[in-house]
Amino acid sequence: MKAIRKTKKVSGAELMDIPIPKIGPRDLLVKVKAAALCKSDVEVFEWTPLVQAANYRLPFTMGHEFAGEVVETGELVSAFSKGDRVAGETHIPCGTCRECRTGNQHICSNHMGVLGRSVDGAFGEYIRLPEVSAIRLSVDVDYIQGSLYEPLGTAIHALQKVSVSGANIAILGPGTIGLMACEAARAMGAAGVITVGSNPERLRYSLTLGADSAINAKEQNFIKEIKKQCSHLDAVIDCTGNAGLINQAIDALSAAGVLVHVGMVESELAIPRYMY
């Protein structure tokens, strides 16, 4: 089969012919029907310092946002059958460690694998997917929509760290996940949603998804703008990883406000004003 593989510890990737994966007793063999490109995949392609620090073992097939059709099941698989339509959870949990048993499977202590990083991913014609990491697509979801389940899950997970209902929330970085967080925050009952970024088109689009206002951080002091627009800011969902913006967001937060990190911070994060 064809697959996009990371083979060298330099910028780039290779389109290669490799064997179709062999599955184990608790695995699914999934024919990939649609795959999405995450910013972290770009980081892997470019082999940035952030990725280099993770010390991934090469080679591996890239990609972790996808949906497809089950074409084969292992003999111990019970929840899925040939022909089922599924998306995949990126993180492979063991199911038995403390983190897995307390709802934190994505940070499994036993490090069972991460699709497209430590385990071959979805930028190939087929993927071996552990049954525990498969998510069934509902009948009204097509494969392209299903390939976005993973980033949507990231946005929802971030919002679950906050008491959203009745809260004023600022979302830094209206990329894919930031826009999803914007729409989800409104659906979850946020009293106010403010997006902050530098891309005018994405900021405008956020207003169609439920944002009450959109602030261009290159043109406006977003701390002053937020304080003009709402009496208190309960939470910030940071999807930028920009250390400077994160520190400004802390200044914009009200007392006892919550800052949730989603973006990848490429350097050490220093918070200079942590006492008042």
Ordered alpha helix ranges (H), 29-171: 39-46, 49-54, 98-101, 143-146, 149-159
Domain layout of the chain by residue ranges: 2-147, 154-261
pLDDT over 80 at 113, yes or no: yes
Question: What per-residue confidence (pLDDT) applies to 275?
Answer: 60
- The hierarchical CATH code for the domain 154-261 is 3.40.50.720
**In the chain, % of residues over pLDDT 90:** 82
Question: pLDDT at residue 274 above 80?
Answer: no
Q: How far is CA 38 from CA 4, 64, 175, in A?
A: 14, 8, 10
Q: What is the dihedral of CA 56, 269, 226, 276, to 10 degrees?
A: 150
Fold annotation for 2-147: Quinone Oxidoreductase; Chain A, domain 1 (3.90.180)
Dump pLDDT digits (tens) for 207-225: 999 999 999 999 999 899 9
According to the model, what pLDDT value does residue 14 have?
98
Mean pLDDT of 256-269: 87
What single-letter DSSP state applies at residue 235?
E
Angle at 20 between CA 40 and CA 48, to 5 degrees: 20
Q: What is the pLDDT of residue 79?
A: 96
Classify residue 116 as left (phi > 0), alpha (psi -120 to 50) or beta.
Answer: left
Asked if the domains at 2-147 and 154-261 fall in one CATH topology, the answer is no
Q: Averaged over 148-173, what is the pLDDT?
A: 96
The end-to-end CA distance of the chain, in Å, is 59
Q: What is the pTM of this model?
A: 0.90
Give the start-end residues of each E strand in the chain: 2-6, 14-17, 27-36, 60-61, 65-73, 85-88, 126-130, 134-136, 168-172, 192-197, 213-216, 235-238, 258-261
